[in-house]
Every structure is written in structure tokens, then in C-alpha cells.
């Protein structure tokens, strides 16, 4: 078989394995990187010998890996919008500063102590393992529906630390291979590459955004042009940055992605989808080829020390860094524990470590073994265990929130969002009007722009995991169709629809959804203001700290207890006002005994007490 035919066969095999890994990962809801790594090792020279990375040549492999990493980093940065960062800006800032520093120092110390390497080599390993890239974090967040602030913090950290790790590792590597250099060279090289990346990235990203806007006015194939131009921009930013200063291309690609992702360019959503497909392709190819290069001898050479370093990095350094960097932020203790347990490493440390090892091995084989062995061992362990167990970990910590979808970002929808969010619920609004969307986002709410009568838009907003859908627009036809989709297609437990016209109430009730007639609601509010003024004032006061809660009793420890005994276990400021059993509502006396499945109506003075009471009644 000729060299060209061998190369074609290797490429086709790698691509096929990459597609298969993606399909299996989607089926099992586990990040595909785990399967890509295993597939690469199996087909590599150390196992079946079906793919030999040497067939690409050292220069060719470096070029392929470099451009692929540029595309991957660009694609992740493209989604790093201002709105996304704003969800967890304080936590993200801490993770990419304090958290990155703790990771660097902790990992370097562990490598130095366990393997007895020189400090420059230990710092090189620590630099690479700062990275928790979007290639492994994003797939986890797709199958673990944590609060948006948690996902935003993790994804922002992954994108920024990918760049930080790559540039810092390159700067450190220059010090490692230049025995006469001063440690100051590391700082100089880091700052220089970061500066070059910003200059090139802003120029390419800004120029591309202007070009797309101008083309959109006259081009017939605007969508196709936009896709090609954006992909070219990613490659151009990486190439120009790398030509100016080696490895500055990663920072340039990231900055260009951020600039374009926050610019108003035509066909932005379609471009993002197309670019995501390209990223999956190159990610699959590069990961398998890099894993095929991995020598099992490097892993065996680390021995027990390798496992010790992995445990220190994943179970000690990562949680400590997260704890210190998220002090005083919005994340709860349990959410901080989850973030501390999610530090999978991805494509950047794998690719950079492999290329460094090729250059380092002839002069210092021991350092090359420690470098590539430690990096890949940490990648394997964190991806397999943290990625595979992420959802179970989140469930054990009870941080998967109830999600409420509100269709309609008008005054009613926004007021509902404020009330639900004050109770600790995760709320997503959907509206088709761009001005309304911007106004609602400015108020701090999470909003999806689109037509909610389209099932795809509802799915994008998370209808398949919503516990409540509220159709609250001023258009009864829209509300009716949304309610129908929520009940029949997405099987949502609770669907509430606003009926603006009394004549339409019957049509809503035929769908077996909770219907709120606008006219009747006003009459009820007036009646409450007259007959129950104190309660009506308290419920309508937007500044109140408590609320009325209805929760199903599922905590066995409260079953068959009297109301008096239950009151002793409830948080201070909470009382049981009503019990609903088998469709019958009653105001219980102190001797009334509770049964499993009872619906308790609780009046709570504070939101914290309300949330604690909910967890108690549900067995949390």
C-alpha cells in the first residue's frame, strides 16, 4: 500500500471512530472525550497498530493539531457572551485568577515531591493542568442541568484557562529548554504572547464582524458566506498570531471568538451551529491521533506516584482552589462542592504536552515521560470519573433546580420571573420581540429569543426538563398552542395558561391545563383587597421576604406525625395553614396526623425558611 493510500486509510479510520465515539457518548450521556481517548490508544502502535501518528510527519502533525486547537478555542470563545459571563462574573473571575494560581502551585508541588523532577518541569506540568477546557465541560453541562450561574462559571473558566494554560506552558517550556535563561523569561514570554493575541484577535474579530455586516446588505448567499468567513477568521487569527510569535495563535483565536460572539452579525445562530459541527469533527480527529501517540510505557513508568498525583490534583488542589476563589460569591456551599469536583482536562493540555514531549524526549527523556504521562493520566482520570459521575454527583448534592419556563416577557411574565427566582427556582423566559428580550435581559433574567409555538425553541429553552410551563402572553392563540405542546410533546407536570378573553377559557380547560382568566383574576384581586386586605397586601408586596408554599409530603420521618409535632421540625417562621388529601382541603388542628402524599400549604416568613421547609417535606 502506498504512502498516500495509507494516509487516506488512517484518516478515514480516525474520522469513523470519532463519529462512533460521539454517537456512543450521546447515547450514554457521557463526554465523548473519554471514548476518543480509549479509541486512540486501541488503534495506536501500542495496541492494534492500525494508526501510526508518524505517518503525518512531525511538522504535519504540529500544523494539524495547532489549527484544530485554534478552531476549538475559537468556537468555545464564540459562546462567551457578556450575558453569559454576567451570570457568574465574580465566581468566574476568581476561578481564572485565584483558582488557576492554586492549581498551578499545587500541581507543581505534587509533581516535584512525588517524582523528584526539577522545578521548571514541575511548573510546566502545573501550567498545562490549569486548563479545564470547554471540550469537556460543555458536554457535561449539557447532561447535568445545574443552575445557569454554575454552568456559566465552569464554562467561562474552561475557555479562559485553556488560553492561560497554553501560553503559560509555552513560556515555561522556553525556560526548560534554555538552561541559561532567567526565570523572568517566563513572565516576559507570557505577557508578550497575551499582548500579541489581543492585538491580532481584536483586529481579526472586529474586521470580520464589519465584513459580515457589509456583505449582508448585498450578498445573495449570505448564510453560506457567513459560515465560510467565520471559519476562515478562526484559522486566520490562529495563523497570524502564531506567525508573529509562536503559540500566540491560541490567544488570538480566543479573542477573535469573543469579539465575534459579542458582535451583532447576520445569521449568528446558524453560524454557531455550523461551527459547532466543525469543532466536533476536528476534536474527534485530534484527540484520537494524540491518544494514539501515547506510550503505555510512559504511564507505567509513573507507577503509584502517578496515581498519587492524580488524587492530589483532583481531590485536594481543585476543591481548595474552588473554595478560595468563590468565597463571598453567589454559589451555595453545595454548588461550590460540585464545581470543586468538576475539573476535567481536555484538548489543550493533551495536544501541547504531546508536542512538547516530542521536542523534549531526545535531550531529557525522563522529563518527557513525567510530562506526557502525568498530563494524560490526569485527563483519563478526570474525564472518566468526573465526567461519567457528574450527574450522580449533582443529584447527591441536590443542586439540580426546578426549572420554570415562562412564555411572554411582558409585565406579567417578568413579575412572575421575579417571584419564582426569589424562591430559588431556575427561570427561563421566552419572547419573540427583540426589544422585550433586551429589556428583560437588562433586568437580569435569562431569556431565549424565539417563537415559543415552535417546538425547537421550547426544547432549546429546556422544556424537556421543566417542571412548570406558564403561557403568559397577551395572545390566546399563542398561549393555547404553547400549552398544547407542553402537555403533549414535553409531558410537563404543571402547565398554566393565561386566558385573556373569557370566551376562550373553555378551550384551555379542554387541554386539562390550569387556566387563569384575566377578567376573573382581576375580580379575585379586588375581592381579596376588600375581604383580606392584610393577606392581599403581603402577597402583592414585591419587597416581602416570604411566601406561601404548597409542597407534597414525601419525607417518611414526618408521616403519621401530628401537626404539632411537625411544627417543631419546621424552620422558624413557617406554619402549616392547610392540608389537601384526596382532593379535600382542610385547616388542620394540632392533633391532625399527616400522611404520605398530603399536599401541605405552608406560610413562611422568609425565602430561606421556605426553601428549608420544602427540602424537609420532600426528604432533602
pLDDT in tens, 308-346: 999 999 999 999 999 999 888 778 888 899 999 988 887
Claim to verify: residue 504 and residue 552 sit in the same structural domain: no
Kindly state whether residues 28 and 61 are assigned to the same domain: yes
Give domain status of residue 534, yes or no. Answer: no
- Reading the block at residue 578, the C-alpha cell is 392547610
**Which residues, including other chains, have CB under 8 Å from residue 526's CB and lie 6 or more apart?**
none
Same domain, 479 and 424: yes
Place of cell 381579596: 528
Final residue before a domain boundary, out of 378, 397, 416: 397
The answer to pTM > 0.75 is no
Residue 571: Cβ within 10 Å count? 17
Do 85 and 223 lie in a common domain?
yes
Please determine, for residue 180, whether its predicted confidence score (pLDDT) is greater than 80: no
CA distance 478 to 185: 63
| Parallel/antiparallel/unpaired status of strands 494-499 and 547-552 | unpaired
The answer to whether residue 21 is domain-embedded is yes
Does residue 520 surpass a pLDDT of 90?
no
pLDDT of the residue at 244: 87
Please indicate, yes or no, if residue 536 is contained in any of the structural domains: no
Last residue of a domain, one of 397, 414, 430: 397
Q: Which of 371, 423, 357 is nearest to 608 (CA)?
A: 423
pLDDT tens, residue by residue, 465-491: 788 899 988 888 888 898 888 888 888
What's the mean pLDDT when you consider all of the chain? 82
Question: Could you tell me the CATH number of the domain that includes residue 549?
Answer: 3.30.70.1450
> How many domains is the chain partitioned into structurally?
3
Give the residue numbers spanning the domain of 470.
403-524
Q: Is residue 2 predicted with pLDDT exceeding 70?
A: no
Q: Are 422 and 356 in a shared domain?
A: no
Residues 353 and 439 in one domain: no
Q: What is the DSSP letter of 571?
A: P
SS3 per residue for 130-147: CCCCHHHHHHHHHHCCCC
What residues have CB less than 8 Å from 119, skipping those under 6 apart?
Answer: 108, 112
One domain for residues 202 and 342: yes
Residues 147 and 257 in one domain: yes
Is residue 489 domain-shared with residue 578, that is, in the same domain?
no
Whole-angstrom distance, CA of residue 565 vs CA of residue 428? 38
Contacts of 452 (CB under 8 A, 6+ apart): 407, 430, 431, 432, 458, 461, 471, 478, 482
Cell numbers for 68: 484544530
What phi, psi does 579 have (nearest 5°)?
A: -125, 130
| Domain of residue 204, CATH code | 1.20.1530.20
Q: Which residue has the higher pLDDT, 129 or 439?
A: 129
Rounded CA-CA distance 231/260 in Å is: 11
Domain's final residue, options 397, 422, 438: 397
Percent of the chain predicted with pLDDT > 90: 12
| 315 and 450 housed in the same domain | no
What dihedral angle (degrees, nearest 10) is formed by the CA atoms of 188, 190, 191, 193? 110
Amino acid at each position: 500500500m502506498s504512502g498516500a493510500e495509507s494516509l487516506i486509510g488512517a484518516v478515514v479510520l480516525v474520522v469513523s471512530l470519532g463519529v462512533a465515539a460521539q454517537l456512543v457518548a450521546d447515547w450514554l450521556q457521557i463526554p465523548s472525550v473519554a471514548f476518543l481517548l480509549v479509541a486512540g490508544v486501541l488503534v495506536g502502535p501500542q495496541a492494534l497498530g492500525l494508526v501510526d501518528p508518524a505517518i503525518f510527519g512531525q511538522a504535519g502533525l504540529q500544523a494539524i493539531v495547532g489549527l484544530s486547537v485554534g478552531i476549538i478555542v475559537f468556537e468555545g470563545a464564540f459562546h462567551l457572551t457578556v450575558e453569559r459571563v454576567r451570570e457568574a462574573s465574580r465566581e468566574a473571575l476568581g476561578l481564572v485568577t485565584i483558582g488557576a494560581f492554586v492549581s498551578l502551585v499545587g500541581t507543581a508541588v505534587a509533581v516535584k515531591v512525588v517524582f523528584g523532577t526539577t522545578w521548571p518541569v514541575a511548573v510546566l506540568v502545573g501550567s498545562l493542568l490549569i486548563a479545564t477546557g470547554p471540550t469537556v465541560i460543555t458536554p457535561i453541562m449539557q447532561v447535568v442541568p445545574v443552575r445557569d450561574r454554575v454552568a456559566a462559571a465552569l464554562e467561562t473558566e474552561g475557555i479562559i484557562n485553556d488560553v492561560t494554560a497554553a501560553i503559560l506552558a509555552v513560556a515555561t517550556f522556553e525556560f526548560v529548554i534554555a538552561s541559561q535563561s532567567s526565570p523572568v523569561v517566563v513572565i516576559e514570554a507570557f505577557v508578550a504572547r497575551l499582548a500579541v493575541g489581543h492585538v491580532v484577535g481584536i483586529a481579526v474579530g472586529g474586521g470580520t464582524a464589519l465584513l459580515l455586516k457589509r456583505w449582508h446588505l448585498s450578498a445573495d448567499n449570505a448564510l453560506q458566506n457567513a459560515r465560510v468567513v467565520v471559519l476562515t477568521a478562526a484559522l486566520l487569527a490562529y495563523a497570524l498570531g502564531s506567525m508573529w510569535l509562536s503559540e500566540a495563535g491560541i490567544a488570538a483565536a480566543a479573542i477573535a471568538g469573543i469579539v465575534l460572539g459579542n458582535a451583532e452579525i447576520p445569521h449568528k445562530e446558524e453560524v454557531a451551529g455550523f461551527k459547532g459541527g466543525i469543532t466536533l469533527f476536528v476534536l474527534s480527529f485530534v484527540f484520537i491521533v494524540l491518544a494514539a501517540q501515547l506510550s503505555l510505557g510512559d504511564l507505567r513508568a509513573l507507577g503509584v506516584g502517578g496515581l498519587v498525583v492524580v488524587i492530589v490534583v483532583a481531590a485536594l488542589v481543585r476543591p481548595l482552589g474552588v473554595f478560595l476563589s468563590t468565597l463571598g460569591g453567589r454559589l451555595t456551599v453545595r454548588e461550590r462542592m460540585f464545581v470543586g469536583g468538576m475539573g476535567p482536562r481536555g484538548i489543550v493540555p493533551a495536544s501541547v504536552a504531546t508536542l512538547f514531549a516530542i521536542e523534549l524526549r531526545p535531550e531529557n527523556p525522563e522529563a518527557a515521560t513525567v510530562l506526557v504521562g502525568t498530563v494524560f493520566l490526569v485527563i483519563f482520570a478526570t474525564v472518566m470519573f468526573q465526567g461519567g459521575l457528574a450527574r450522580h454527583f449533582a443529584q447527591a448534592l441536590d443542586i439540580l433546580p426546578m426549572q420554570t419556563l415562562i412564555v411572554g416577557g411582558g409585565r406579567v411574565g417578568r413579575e412572575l420571573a421575579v417571584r419564582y427566582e426569589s424562591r430559588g427556582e431556575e427561570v427561563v423566559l421566552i419572547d419573540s420581540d427583540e426589544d422585550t428580550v433586551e429589556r428583560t435581559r437588562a433586568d437580569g433574567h435569562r431569556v431565549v429569543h424565539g417563537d415559543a409555538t415552535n417546538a425547537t425553541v421550547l426544547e432549546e429553552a429546556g422544556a424537556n426538563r421543566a417542571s412548570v410551563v406558564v403561557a403568559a402572553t397577551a395572545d390566546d392563540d399563542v398561549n393555547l398552542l404553547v400549552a398544547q405542546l407542553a402537555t403533549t410533546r414535553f409531558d410537563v407536570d404543571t402547565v398554566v395558561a393565561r386566558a385573556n378573553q373569557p370566551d376562550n377559557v373553555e378551550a384551555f380547560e379542554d387541554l386539562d391545563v390550569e387556566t387563569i382568566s384575566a377578567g376573573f383574576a382581576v375580580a379575585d384581586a379586588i375581592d381579596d383587597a376588600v375581604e383580606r386586605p392584610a393577606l392581599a397586601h403581603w402577597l402583592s408586596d414585591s419587597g416581602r421576604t416570604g411566601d406561601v408554599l404548597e409542597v407534597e409530603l414525601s419525607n417518611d420521618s414526618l408521616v403519621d406525625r401530628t401537626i404539632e409535632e411537625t411544627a417543631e421540625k419546621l424552620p422558624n417562621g413557617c406554619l402549616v395553614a392547610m392540608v389537601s388529601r384526596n382532593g379535600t382541603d382542610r385547616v388542620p388542628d394540632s392533633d391532625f396526623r399527616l400522611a404520605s402524599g398530603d399536599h401541605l400549604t405552608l406560610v413562611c416568613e422568609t425565602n430561606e425558611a421556605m426553601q428549608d421547609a420544602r427540602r424537609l417535606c420532600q426528604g432533602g
